[in-house]
Structure formats: C-alpha cells, structure tokens
C-alpha cells in the first residue's frame, strides 16, 4: 500500500469539477439517445411505472411509500433484500398502512398499487439482479451504501431508471464506479434521482438562491454540523449468527457498510455547503476518534470528527459530527460572507436587514420522488449523480483525513486504491473486520492508519 503523503493547501494542484469528472468518467459529448423510444414508453401514457424496491429497511419502506404516493400511475412490482423477514415486514407495512420511518405522512396502505407475488420477492446477495430483471421500469436502491456502486451499475446496464439513497459509495473506488456508470446512464437517457432531499425544501432553495445572488457578499466561510446523541443500539447477536450476518444486520455501525456517520449523515450539510460554494475542496485535514462505547453501540466507526476543508480560492469549510449523549447538539449549516451570515436550515439571512423565509413546508422526501416520476413520465432531463458524487467524495475525503490524521489533497483522495468490503459475499464468509475477545472492534488510529 502506498505510504501517506502530507500536503499543505498551497501544495495541492488545481483540480476543478471538470477535472474530477474527466478523471472518473467517459466523456459523453455528442451522445445519441439510442434508447430514447424505450425510455419514452411511459411519457404521457397510461401504463403504470413498475417499481422494484431493493433494500427493504426503514428508508426503503419510506421511499416505496413515497413513490406509491405520487399522482402518476405506479405499481410496486418486485422487492429484494438480504433477509426475508425484512422484506416481508416492509411488504406488510406498505400493504396495510402505517407511518414508516422517513415517511412523514401516515398512509392507509397501497394494496391497490402493490403486485409483488412470492415469485417477485428475492432474497440474498444477488437478489438485486433478479429484482432489476423482473420487468421493472424504476428501481429504488436503498441498501447500505457499500452496495450502491454495484447495484447502480447493474441497473444502468439493464436500462432502468433509478432512485438511489445517499451516500453513493463508501470509498473512492465506489465513487469512480458510480461516475462511470452514470456516463452510460446519460447515454441511455435514464433518469436518476439521489436522496439529498434537502435540495427539495423551499426554505433551502430560496436561501441558497439568495446567497448565490450575493445576499451576504463574497462567501468567506461555511460551517456544517451534525452533532447528536446516542446513535442507535446494535441488534442483539443471535447464538448461531455469523459475524457477517451480525454486521449486515447492523450496517450503521460498520465502516465498510455505511462509510462512517461523517459520510452517511453529515453529507446532507456538506452537500449544501458545496451547493452554495460551487466546485469541491482541494484539501482536507482533521481529527476524530472513538470515546463513547457501550456493548449496545459497537462497531468500528468513530463517534466524533472535526474536519477542515480548503477550496482553491482559500475559503474554508469547517465540519463536525458527533454521536455522544449529553453534549451540545446541532444539525445545521451556516454561511459567512463579507456582508453577513446565513443559516440555511432555518432559512434566515442576517446582512444589515434580516430576511426570514416564510412559506408552506413540504415533505422533501415526497418531493424528490415526485420530481423523478414526473421526469420519467414526461421525458424531462433528470440526473442528480454528479453533484451527489462530488459531495459523497468530499465527505469520504474528510473521513480519510480524520482517520489518518494527514493533510490530503483531492486528487490523492479521489485516486485512493483502498477498497472497503469483504473478499467474498456470503453469509458464512469472513467479515471485513472482527471483534476481540471483549467484543471490541479495531478502529482507525490517526498517525498510523493508511487511507491511500
């Protein structure tokens, strides 16, 4: 493995958004839309869009409820998950109706929009392939993000429209894979939505627009926080459960599955910071660790991070995340400029006068699925991968800097050869990490851990 190299901001070469995409994808200029006729099959027609849900946990059930709540004719056609109990529980929830996690509006069930007989319920590591090949038009990718690149690649290969949750990957190789697949998605005129739902809140949209129009003058600093209390318990380990199954049942606690909470959750506000600023940072340095440990919150992720990002023009973005009880909490993004400051989440700008967004709230989870389905029905351009990949890679670079304790450049981080995950996908295969006799998993050691 390549030894870590330390970089100061002034040493980092210029690396524009264009360079990022050129390094990671095949150019698609001049692409002819060979599959346009197939992609337009539902435009303004009456045929129901057949949906395959891949990943039937809380977020998957919520995303399915939202796509089934759209005004267009849609039908849940196939379902896939690693575990049959999770699939059947999601199907029951969606059929009978109740309020699901991430689904802010209670529903009375979608029995008239669900057609998932036993032969279209798929379980196991290859279940996603069967669901994609079941005749679905739109696939929802809501598994742990480790699996996102391979599942997106397969969906694009089979010519399917896609909604996929953030983050898009857990390592740089996964980001490069997603971008390469997206080049093919564009060639095929596939519509692709990504679950950075804060971009669909009117409050955030209007605040960002005003900042981009100069409401606080040139931007000098961005601050992003996702500090919260106890994350969540790990599920009890069954007596006959393999280590691989245990980790798959507790994806939020294992680096290879979710990329660390810094990537999985703070990504929302990192994305907003990049949305306001434009482009991506050229370097990152930070620190973090694991201080709070209980038997019910195990795993190998850090429980706190603070990372400083530097942009080409010298602007800084400071970020924090922490999951420790009885501490100061905040989930927010603030932007400081020459004339004032803005709080994006609150929709508030203070620059001499105070502007406060006043408007009707919307269910952003619903809005993002409504927009995707409308684009499919009316053949409108809709592809959210590039900015989501930039934000995902920024978060991954921040985690890499925190874990290693090194100053990292964008180019070195993007080109990292480190891959997170097992050598073999099987329930009885060795897991990527294992606990010691006391039940503790090894965690990164800044100054020792290598990430390139």
- Condensed to tens digits (0 to 9), the pLDDT of residues 230-247 reads 777 778 888 889 999 999
Domains plus CATH for the chain? 9-198+366-383 (3.40.50.720), 200-361+394-414 (3.30.360.10)
pLDDT digits (tens, 9 = 90+) for 320-379: 999 999 999 999 999 999 999 999 999 999 999 999 999 988 999 999 999 999 999 999
Write down the pLDDT at residue 105.
57
Q: What count of Cα atoms within 13 Å lies in the side-chain half-sphere of residue 230? A: 10
Write down the pLDDT at residue 237.
85
pLDDT at residue 24 is higher than 60: no
Write down the pLDDT at residue 412.
97
Write down the pLDDT at residue 334.
98
Write down the pLDDT at residue 40.
47
pLDDT at residue 253 is higher than 50: yes
Q: Are 59 and 251 in contact (CB under 8 A)?
A: no
pLDDT at residue 106 is higher than 80: no
Write down the pLDDT at residue 107.
67
Mean pLDDT of the chain: 89
Q: pLDDT class for 6, splitting at 50, 70, 90?
A: very low
Write down the pLDDT at residue 13.
35
pLDDT digits (tens, 9 = 90+) for 29-85: 333 333 443 444 454 445 899 999 999 999 999 999 999 999 999 999 999 999 999
pLDDT at residue 19 is higher than 60: no
Quote the pTM value. Answer: 0.89
pLDDT digits (tens, 9 = 90+) for 259-311: 999 999 999 999 999 999 999 999 999 999 999 877 777 899 999 999 999 99
Dihedral angle sign, alpha carbons of residues 68, 72, 73, 78: negative
Write down the pLDDT at residue 387.
98
Rg (CA), the chain: 22
Q: What distance in Å separates the CA atoms of residue 24 and residue 423, rounded to the nearest whole number?
A: 24
What is the rounded average pLDDT of the residues 123-148? Answer: 98
pLDDT digits (tens, 9 = 90+) for 389-443: 999 999 999 999 999 999 999 999 999 999 999 999 999 999 999 999 888 999 9
Q: Is residue 377 classed exposed, middle or buried when 0-12, 13-18 and 19+ CB atoms within 10 A define those classes?
A: buried
pLDDT digits (tens, 9 = 90+) for 150-206: 999 999 999 999 999 999 999 999 999 999 999 999 999 999 999 999 999 999 999
pLDDT digits (tens, 9 = 90+) for 204-219: 999 999 999 999 999 9
Q: Other CB atoms closer than 10 Å to residue 316's CB: what's the count?
A: 15
Write down the pLDDT at residue 103.
52
């Amino acid at each position: 493995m390549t030894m870590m190299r330390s970089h100061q901001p002034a040493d980092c070469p210029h690396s524009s958004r264009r360079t990022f995409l050129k390094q990671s994808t095949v150019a698609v200029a001049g692409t002819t839309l060979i599959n346009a006729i197939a992609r337009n099959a539902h435009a303004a027609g009456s045929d129901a869009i057949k949906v395959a849900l891949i990943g039937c946990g809380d977020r998957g059930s919520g995303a399915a409820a939202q796509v089934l709540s759209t005004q267009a004719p849609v039908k849940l056609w196939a379902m896939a998950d690693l575990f049959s109990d999770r699939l059947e529980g999601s199907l029951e929830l969606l059929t009978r109706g109740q309020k699901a996690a991430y689904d802010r509006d209670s529903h009375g069930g979608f029995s008239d929009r669900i057609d998932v007989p036993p032969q279209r319920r798929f379980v196991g590591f290859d279940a996603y392939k069967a669901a994609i090949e079941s005749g679905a038009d739109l696939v929802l990718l809501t598994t742990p993000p480790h699996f996102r690149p391979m599942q997106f690649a397969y969906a694009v290969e089979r010519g399917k429209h896609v909604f996929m949750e953030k983050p898009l990957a857990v390592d740089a190789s996964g980001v490069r894979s997603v971008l390469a697949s997206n080049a093919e998605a564009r060639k095929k005129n596939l519509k692709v939505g990504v679950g950075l739902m804060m971009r669909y809140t009117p409050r955030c949209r209007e605040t960002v627009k005003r900042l981009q129009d100069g409401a606080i003058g040139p931007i000098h600093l961005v601050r992003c926080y996702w500090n919260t209390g106890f994350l969540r318990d790990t599920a009890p380990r069954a007596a006959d459960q393999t280590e691989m199954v245990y980790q798959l049942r507790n994806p939020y606690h294992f680096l290879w599955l979710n990329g660390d909470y810094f990537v999985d959750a703070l990504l929302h506000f990192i994305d907003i910071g990049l949305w306001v600023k434009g482009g991506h940072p050229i370097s990152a340095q930070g620190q973090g660790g694991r201080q709070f440990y209980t038997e019910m919150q195990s795993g190998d992720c850090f429980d706190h991070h603070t990372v400083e990002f530097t942009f080409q023009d010298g602007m800084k973005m400071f970020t924090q995340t922490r999951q420790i009880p009885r501490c100061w909490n905040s989930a927010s993004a603030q932007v400081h400029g020459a004339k004032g400051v803005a709080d994006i989440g609150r929709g508030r700008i203070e620059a001499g006068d105070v502007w406060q967004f006043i408007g009707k709230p919307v269910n952003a989870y619903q809005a993002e699925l409504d927009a995707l389905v409308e684009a499919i029905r009316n053949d409108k351009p809709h592809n959210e991968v590039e900015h989501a990949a930039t934000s995902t890679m920024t978060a991954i670079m921040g985690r890499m800097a925190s874990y290693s304790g090194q100053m990292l450049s964008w180019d070195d981080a993007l080109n990292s050869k480190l891959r997170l995950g097992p050598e073999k996908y099987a329930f009885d295969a060795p897991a990527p990490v294992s606990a010691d006799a006391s039940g503790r998993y090894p965690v990164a050691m800044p100054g020792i851990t290598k990430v390139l």
